[in-house]
Amino acid sequence: MSGGLFPDITADDGLIHLPGFAASDTDALLALVADITARSPFRHMTTPWGKPMSVAMSNCGDVGWTADRRGYRYAAHDPIGGAPWPAMPELFRRLSENAATAAGFPGFRPDACLINRYQPGAQMTLHQDRDERDLTAPIVSVSLGLPAIFLWGGATRKDKTRRITLASGDVVVWGGATRLNFHGVAKLKASQRPEAVRINLTFRKARA
């Protein structure tokens, strides 16, 4: 991972894009995702409206984000099997803390990492992330695998969205005034290799 000053920062309306910040770590990160999901497998959670999500998810850390018919929440145990979520690997923690520091948020200590898997056809519709107790902490996202188009909206659902391509190894940090902005991911295109997927790690401080 990049040490010291990271030169290639684009700060744009509260979105801080660090292209390639995790580029040298992608293989190690994917191997750790494989370890985590061997214990807490990817699953398609159900929304409170009863619809299975097209993105498959798992978590590591003290708490993990879950969705079911009762709502959205962070929980210390994987509802599949009832065990604690796998611990957050040291590389995950270090990378996310270094990215947050490079983006101007020193002292970020994530307690949750949501792992999203996008197969071709999967998407994430516009939403806000508001299940975290500490909204002063940023969110750090790390993209791995196939590129995707990130949709970056405003404070209301009606605000127009901009499209930003996120490639493998890219890191984005959101915090401050834009922490509650609407955002989503456009439907993932099929690639030449049908087994190829996009993995996104989002690091959060879920508990105050």
Enumerate binding residues for ligand MD3 (CB under 6 A): 114, 116, 124, 129, 139, 141, 172, 174, 179, 181, 183, 185, 200, 202
Cα–Cα nearest to 128, from 204, 165, 179, 175: 179
Could you tell which of ligand MD3, Fe ion, none binds residue 63, using a CB distance below 5 to 8 A set by kind?
Answer: none
**CB 32 to Fe ion: min, Å:** 21
Nearer Cβ to ligand MD3 (3/68): 68
Closest-approach residue to Fe ion (CB): 129
Residue 141 touches which member of Fe ion, ligand MD3, none, C-beta under 5-8 Å by kind: ligand MD3
CA distance linking residue 49 with residue 69, whole number of Å: 7
Please spell the DSSP secondary structure of 60-79, one letter per residue. EESSEEEEETTEEEEESB-T
CB nearer Fe ion, residue 145 or residue 153: 153
Nearer to Fe ion, 129 or 170 (CB): 129
b/e sequence 154-186, b meaning 16+ C-beta within 10 Å: eeeeeeebeebebebbbbbbbbeebbebbbebe
State the amino acid at position 136 in one-letter form: T
Report the residue number, 97 or 129, with the smaller CB distance to Fe ion.
Answer: 129
User: Closest separation between CB of residue 5 and Fe ion, Å?
Assistant: 29
CB nearer to ligand MD3: give 5 or 142: 142
Q: Which residues bind Fe ion (CB under 5 A)?
A: 129
Burial of 126: CB neighbours in 10 Å, binned 0-12, 13-18, 19+: middle
Q: How far is the CB of 187 from ligand MD3 (least distance, A)?
A: 13
The pairing of strands 139-145 and 10-12 is unpaired
- CB of 202 vs ligand MD3, minimal distance in Å: 5
The residue sitting closest to ligand MD3, measured at its beta carbon, is 200
Of 29, 76, 61, the C-alpha closest to 171 is 29
